[in-house]
Structure 1
Amino acid sequence: MGDIRRSCIDCAVKNCSRMQGAYPQFCLTTHMDEEVLADVMAQYENELINKVAVASAEVEAEHYCRFTRIEETMAFAEKIGARKLGIATCVGLLAESRILARILRRHGFEVVGVACKAGAQPKESIGIPAYCTEVGPNMCNPILQAKLLNKEKTDLNLVVGLCVGHDSLFYRYSDALCTTVVVKDRVLGHNPVAALYTADSYYRKLEA
């Protein structure tokens, strides 16, 4: 593997979180580019950025280990004044997205959703290989999902089970802030962290 560049993912101290220990030699905090840090902290002076950062911290503190992600999402939306919510959903999770929309509407939110296959464009139209049609003839279109929700002028967009990579394109093209409600994992019931919990046992193959 060669030399490994150590960073936060190699730290077992987490002194930056609790301030109860010593920083490791490779710590990013003690080797910080102060110009970058100053520029970053200045970003929080922006009204919107500050509102989002403060609201996020408040939701964490007020509902720590008590609220589900659905509940936290609603609490966050309320704190930032987001009343019109967009749902960018995989067609395979439309049933779950309908339930989510029902819950959101009962809490007073306006909801509009766009499924990944909206527009019904064939995969071949953008050069996707023919073998990919074995799982369906039409392409996922996250850019269209973003553009349609942009047109709706949503305040906050919720991602429900978009494919790896398709979610990246949606985030890139969305005008509104985004948060993820469901991460797709067809094998693990949309709970990808289960593979990490069992990486030393059942999913040892991940490091093979």
Structure 2
Amino acid sequence: MDTCAFCQKHSCRTGDLENAPQNCPCRETNEIENIKKKYQDPEIAKLAYNSALVESEGYCKKTRLEEIIDFAQRCQFHRLGIAFCIGLSKEAQIFCSILKNHGFEVFSVICKNGSVPKEFLGIQDSQKNRPGTYEPMCNPIGQAVFLNKSKTELNIMLGLCVGHDSLFIKYSDAPITVFAVKDRILAHNPLGAVYLSDSYYKNKL
């Protein structure tokens, strides 16, 4: 099993493959060659090439928002899809306006699309966020289907819940990138829990 998270050598970065750990993926030369072949697909090659340029040219210079715009322009994507959480409706409106101002055609779908009650999933009233009220389920498959129907070329996730994002990724036809992820406690900065894991959050984690 590969344990890259605990590696201290990072031979993959230095190129010192002779001294790579025995379980390093770099030693799987046959597998790496098979993986490299996947990048030869023209559409994949375009994504990989432009991703590398966005990384190098925007490194410590551009925000993620700017990098998304840069990436979409380099890939010549014109039709962008936004799958967003209803709790970030204001942010989604601003984000979409910015993208439109940069010449993109933008299609956005909210998480509660279709207004399907949570009871459809077998959720009991006592399990709702607000028992005794009508609560529609999040519908990430619907977000993907509606954006697929709009023939979007790149889909962008904005604040989808854990698990709902997995379903959206599974059903989206277009490539996906992430503008922001959901973390209601840490102002949508989930790495905060990692940074505090040996102090304030130690007892929780």
TM-score tier, shorter chain, comes to over 0.9
Aligned to 2:200: 202
What secondary structure is seen at the aligned counterpart in 1 of 2:142?
helix
8 Å CA contact retained: 2:157, 2:176? yes
Q: Which runs of 5+ in 2 are unaligned?
A: none
TM value normalised by structure 1 = 0.91
Aligned to 1:92: 87
Question: How far apart, in 2, do the equivalents of 1:177 and 1:64 lie?
Answer: 22
8 Å CA contact retained: 1:142, 1:167? yes
What secondary structure is seen at the aligned counterpart in 2 of 1:52?
helix
Moved over 4 A (4+): none
Query: Which range moves more in the overlay, 11-20 or 196-205?
Result: 11-20
8 Å CA contact retained: 1:157, 1:176? yes
- Pick from 10, 15, 28: which aligns with 1:14? 10
Q: CA deviation at 1:120?
A: 0.5
Structure 2 counterpart of 1:157, which letter?
Answer: N
Structure 2 counterpart of 1:122, which letter?
Answer: P
What secondary structure is seen at the aligned counterpart in 1 of 2:26?
coil
Identity of aligned pairs, percent?
45
Aligned to 1:26: 23
Q: Would you say how many aligned residue pairs link Structure 1 and Structure 2?
A: 201
Question: How far apart, in 2, do the equivalents of 1:19 and 1:38 lie?
Answer: 16
State how 1:152-167 maps to structure 2 within 5 Å: 152-167=150-165
Aligned to 2:39: 44
Query: Which range moves more in the overlay, 13-22 or 96-105?
Result: 13-22
For the aligned residue pairs, the C-alpha RMSD in angstroms reads 1.6
- Pick from 180, 183, 187: which aligns with 2:181? 183
TM value normalised by structure 2 = 0.93
Structure 2 counterpart of 1:28, which letter?
Answer: P
Structure 1 counterpart of 2:110, which letter?
Answer: A
Aligned to 1:142: 140
8 Å CA contact retained: 2:2, 2:25? no
What secondary structure is seen at the aligned counterpart in 2 of 1:205?
coil
